[in-house]
Structure 1
Amino acid sequence: MLILSEAVGVGHTKAAEALMQGIELLDPSIEVQVLELGRELHPVSAGLLYRCYLNMVTRYPGVWRKVYDYKQNEPLSLWKQSFIYRMFHRTMKDMLNLISPDLIICTHPFSSSSVACLKRAGYTLRLCTMITDFHAHGAWVQPEVDHYLVSGEEVYTQLMKMGVPKEKVSITGIPLTMNFRIKHNKQEMRQLLGIKDMPTMLVMGGGLGLGGMERLANILAKWRDSLQIVICTGHNERLRRVLEAELHHPNVHILGFVNNIDRWMDASDWLITKAGGITCFEALAKRLPLFIYQPLPGHEENNCEFLIRHKLAIRIDTEEEIADWVDKLLCYPQAISFLEQNMQQFQQMLDPLATARAVLAPLRAADEKRSGKYPPVFISKKPATY
């Protein structure tokens, strides 16, 4: 199996790695490889895409919102798919000829679109696409996709409205690595991480350290005598250096990119973050109460809307709202008991290996058919909705 991601943020690749872990756990005989496709094939073009995206969402969010919203409920036109292929993936066929995968799984719409282009040109392969948000943009939709793996009922319905046959879609949730499947004791994690046993707020801005983190950190710093603040800046080294220079206090911890964010989630009481699909799904799995601050325009605003509507998160936009909630949490933490109950119900519905099982089922069926056995037809079943 070949799992294709793109180096735009961190979430798409984290989902790919979690899926790989699940597949290897269920069937160690399967060889799985994860590639960030654009970076692997054409690093200059992929780097240009990354910088343009970063510029748009940080400096011109209104423009990016219009780009994202334009025909978002329609599949990408063929000329746009062809442009993506020629710009970022034009040598992909040579790579696939070398690897010869039995199945390709895409966790980003660009890689899925380019594989679909190859299939239209006559290249024979099986394509599975995993949508890593709580909302489906039309860029994910191509008729050449054999199987969609989606986070929930609403994405399932959105794909139906865009013409995807229901038998092509499985509701599996978003895959998480083993570290997020178990919630550890909060006090033990604090001791392990070397922080105090006191009310703790975790602040994240995704792998790129976005979402107004500098302003948010300075607002929260007003409570640093009574609130422990852990700020994870991801790969944003400039932001990490700025915050280290601005905030000096034993109760303020500035982290760069870390590989053990699951432990920091276990050690925290609350999380303030933008609305990246993977981060939010990880927090839901850990039952860590979520506050959404400055979601990026487009897909994150849709993620935020989903979480708010299902009472799985609280949105805070202004300094006054942040102040009100921090005071409330410190004086009366039961104020978010409804949120914790809803997250617990959501977490109980999660099957951490559902995505891997959905990927493996058709391959196993094909193997048994070739061997002369006739297994039951694989049917995509929808679990409990949320």
Structure 2
Amino acid sequence: MVTEQALSRRHAGEHADGPHRVLLLTGSIGAGHDAAAAAVGEALAGRWPDAEVLTRDVLAGMGRGAPQAFSGVYAACVRTLPWLYGSYYALLVHAAFFRAGTRAVVGRWTARAIAPLLAEHRPDLVVATVPEGVQGLAHLRRAGRLPARAVVVLSDPAPQPLWCDADLDVHLVTTDEAARRVRRAAPGAEVRVVRWPVVSAFHPPHVSDVPGDGREHRSHGVLVAGGSLGFGDLPALARAVLAAGWDAVVAAPDPRVRARLDTLAAAHPGRLEVRRRIDDPAAVTRAVDAVVTTGGGASAFEALACTRPLLVADPIPGHGRDGARLLARAGLAELCPRPADLTAALRRLADPAVHAARVAALRDRPPGEDLASALTGPAGVTRVRPEDALFWHASTARVPQVLGARIVLATPADDTTDWPALVAGRVRERAGGIEVLARRLDDTGPLRWVPTVPDPARHVDPALREASDPDAATTAAVVGAPLDPRDVGWRLTVVRTGPREVSVLAAAHHVLGDGLAVTDALTRLLTDEGTGTPVATRTNGGTPADRVPIGRRLAGIAGIAALARRGVARRGALGDPTRGGAATTRLVTRVRDAAEVRAAARTHGTGTTVLVLAVVAEALAGPGTRPVRAMVPLTTRLTTGPGAGSRAAGNRTAAVAVDLPVGPQDVDARVAAVHAAVERARASGQADGAAAVLAALGWAPGAVSRAFARLTYRARFFHLIVSVMPGLGRPVHVGGALVREVVPVLPLAEGVGLAVGAIRWNRTLGIGITLDDEVLGDEGLPARVDEAWDAVVRGARPARARQDGHRR
């Protein structure tokens, strides 16, 4: 039975760099998982004696009687239906559909057992020594519910797929071949080769203890180990050992097997010792000349740690045979498929020179990394969520997915502040604690986030630039920023844009986060108050990702249907999607009075998002115009996923497609039509459908996700992007200077020539219009937006009538 151990000592502070609370997840199927957990606990206690280590049987949380049921079914299959267990293992290794289904079922089931342990103990390190625990942790990591470092310690020589998941931080194995297998099963996984995962009592015999033969004492020739469950035909193996002229000690928990062994022992007086169990396996292992095992798990590791020649005889099916073959290929064991093979192998090993050579080879084997050292390291190496990966795959050299903001600071006329140095100092002091800014992308396998420490020298332009045209400066610093999230995914440039103002131009790759996440990160990074932006949430409650109710799942299905009904966008409704690119993209900005906007919205009985959409529709309107589809990220965040309604990093806004009314009609009717269209889009479930599709893509190969992103995030499905974001309604400062206004910068998409972003800041509404004039074929749009603003917000009529030909 697994017990709780609390390892605490005095001298706090000597080990402050190590973990404080550790959760060890083991499983009571045999004793091998517990043995590996004991080795981990001992390593932690030796290195960090102040750490509290809690050991839990993950199977115990999977239902009443689950440990007994799992162990009983496993033992029965191995003993009476070995072909069935062998078939299960073969399907797990070779059949992708079976492997994926098993991982999903086991992961979801065990996650429900592990989640309460994480919530109760709040560990900063979690170690799994059982494959069910591995899958449960991986499920929780993908759901955003495992912030702690997660380590896998393999208690078997041969990793099977349930042992492996690239979303966890590191896998600790014992051979190079095992490391290669983990990387094949989980591309992108970090793997380290460590010393045998056994407690320190298992060590090579000391030569000085007994002169002459190099062992502490001589009591038996061969230890025959069938594991705690006594697998294998132990009487037949004992008979094979005796036939080779060796003495043996064997433990058999089954009384019927012990009776057969007692009969054999009676026929060979003094040569065969039969026990129910071995109370001190380390002492016995050190004392024998060789170890014979049928499983190749903990017994094998213990023998090798004691440099005892290892023979795996008639191994159990599945992982037993797989592990035996791996150890044999590595030169660490001899595989004996039949009892006769065991007899022959022991006769060869009886030659002192052969035995000495085998022992010397084990002694001279380069030790792996220290277990305690490999357990520690950074946490949070996580797979990139499909919502984020979409923008990595959609980003091209022609249309890079870079968003950002111009943050305008009001400064005195005689300002002498070294603004680049001040910004660099904030990066040095704060960026490491802001998730959006303290990570980089790893695309060597499945896309993953790797924690990093931001370097101000790489993220902040050290010079204070001068610019007479703020829009041109922002275009160059943000729209044209050469960002690579695998290296430098965000960058800040400080520009003096007027005699009494300085602007911080912030650029970030869209894969790092949406406008809400990036704005919040910049506010926390730069402002003297260090406060973030508020996040509005939908009022459907925050449901953990692994326990989404059936109603929400049905909503996702309905949303997918809604997306399908939308179909593709009308080609050519807003310019020529085959033209343009980054070189012809520019930014035009406007700053409006926030109070005026709110008053206009109240007059029309709607909100700011609808009002901005109506302005865009009015600017695009004209006789003979065709319907224009806008992709509208809502100002609320979904609450069905991890980090929803929070400052969690990433792209978590819900987007809907809205067909804008651009035909001839009066302003009030247009605003009402836009309001109705937005409400229909909200109610249609499109956002839930998009989330469901992206969640499914999270399980697809990278090539499929990339193809999907480049097929869908383009003018084929929408003509423009309009995003209205909440900001801050109260004053904040940077270096004592008031943040007077913030203007967002949105990226375009392939073939899309227009994106409009707006954010309220203090008393202003900052509007950034990203245009590709080559796509639109019309440079007069900004002026028409100003006219439309007057018509919609200020109630004035347009200065000139619309005519055909203004839009293409």
Q: Is the 8 A contact 2:235 2:264 kept in 1?
A: no
Report the secondary structure of 2:177's partner residue: helix
What residue is the counterpart of 2:360 in the other structure?
341
Q: CA RMSD in A?
A: 3.3
**Greater mean alpha carbon deviation, residues 309-318 or residues 85-94:** 85-94
**Greater mean alpha carbon deviation, residues 17-26 or residues 107-116:** 107-116
- Is 1:320 aligned with 2:340? yes
- Is 1:355 aligned with 2:353? no
Q: Within 5 Å, which residues of 2 pair with 1:181-200?
A: 181-184=203-206, 197=218, 200=221
State the shift of 1:316 in Å: 2.2
What residue is the counterpart of 2:155 in the other structure?
132
How far apart are the structure 1 equivalents of 2:327 and 2:229? 22
What residue is the counterpart of 1:212 in the other structure?
233
What residue is the counterpart of 1:291 in the other structure?
311
2:258 partner amino acid: R
TM-score (norm 1): 0.81
Distance 1:47 1:338, change over 3 A: same
1:131 partner amino acid: L
Distance 1:160 1:75, change over 3 A: farther
Q: Is the 8 A contact 1:2 1:104 kept in 2?
A: yes
Identity of aligned residues (%): 22
What residue is the counterpart of 2:172 in the other structure?
149
How far apart are the structure 2 equivalents of 1:337 and 1:41? 48
Unmatched 5+ stretches in structure 2: 1-21, 212-216, 380-428, 434-450, 454-808
Q: Is the 8 A contact 1:132 1:174 kept in 2?
A: no
Question: How many correspondences in the alignment?
Answer: 359
What residue is the counterpart of 2:637 in the other structure?
none
Distance 1:36 1:276, change over 3 A: farther
How far apart are the structure 2 equivalents of 1:313 and 1:275? 12
- Is 1:162 aligned with 2:185? yes
What residue is the counterpart of 1:239 in the other structure?
257
How far apart are the structure 1 equivalents of 2:296 and 2:334? 14
What residue is the counterpart of 2:141 in the other structure?
119
Q: Is the 8 A contact 2:170 2:191 kept in 1?
A: yes
State the shift of 1:337 in Å: 4.2
Report the secondary structure of 1:231's partner residue: strand
How far apart are the structure 2 equivalents of 1:220 and 1:171? 33
Q: Which digits, 9 at most, give the CA deviation of each residue in 1:253-297, with x for residues without a partner?
A: 112223411111111111111242322122112111111101111
What residue is the counterpart of 2:47 in the other structure?
26
Larger RCO of the pair (alpha carbons < 8 Å, separation 6+) = 1
- The structure in which a higher percent of residues are strand is 2
Q: Which digits, 9 at most, give the CA deviation of each residue in 1:27-83, with x for residues without a partner?
A: 101111222211355341222121111111122222211210114165975643343
How far apart are the structure 1 equivalents of 2:68 and 2:208? 39
Distance 1:153 1:257, change over 3 A: same
What residue is the counterpart of 1:381 in the other structure?
none
Distance 1:237 1:104, change over 3 A: farther
How far apart are the structure 2 equivalents of 1:113 and 1:263? 35
Unmatched 5+ stretches in structure 1: 190-194, 364-368, 379-386
State the shift of 1:134 in Å: 2.7
Q: Within 5 Å, which residues of 2 pair with 1:15-164?
A: 15-39=36-60, 42-72=63-93, 79-85=101-107, 90-126=112-148, 127-164=150-187
State the shift of 1:186 in Å: 9.7
Q: Within 5 Å, which residues of 2 pair with 1:254-269?
A: 254-269=274-289
Report the secondary structure of 2:52's partner residue: coil
Larger Rg: 2
What residue is the counterpart of 1:3 in the other structure?
24
How far apart are the structure 1 equivalents of 2:125 and 2:264? 49
How far apart are the structure 2 equivalents of 1:284 and 1:255? 22
Q: Is the 8 A contact 1:186 1:268 kept in 2?
A: no
What residue is the counterpart of 2:300 in the other structure?
280
Q: Which digits, 9 at most, give the CA deviation of each residue in 1:128-163, with x for residues without a partner?
A: 212222322111223431222122222222222234
State the shift of 1:350 in Å: 4.2
Report the secondary structure of 1:288's partner residue: coil
State the shift of 1:207 in Å: 1.5
State the shift of 1:245 in Å: 4.7
Q: Is the 8 A contact 2:219 2:288 kept in 1?
A: no
**Greater mean alpha carbon deviation, residues 293-302 or residues 270-279:** 270-279
Distance 1:358 1:319, change over 3 A: closer
Q: Is the 8 A contact 2:111 2:139 kept in 1?
A: no
Q: Within 5 Å, which residues of 2 pair with 1:217-236?
A: 217-222=238-243, 227-233=246-252, 235-236=253-254
- The structure in which a higher percent of residues are helix is 1
How far apart are the structure 1 equivalents of 2:376 and 2:328? 33
1:239 partner amino acid: V
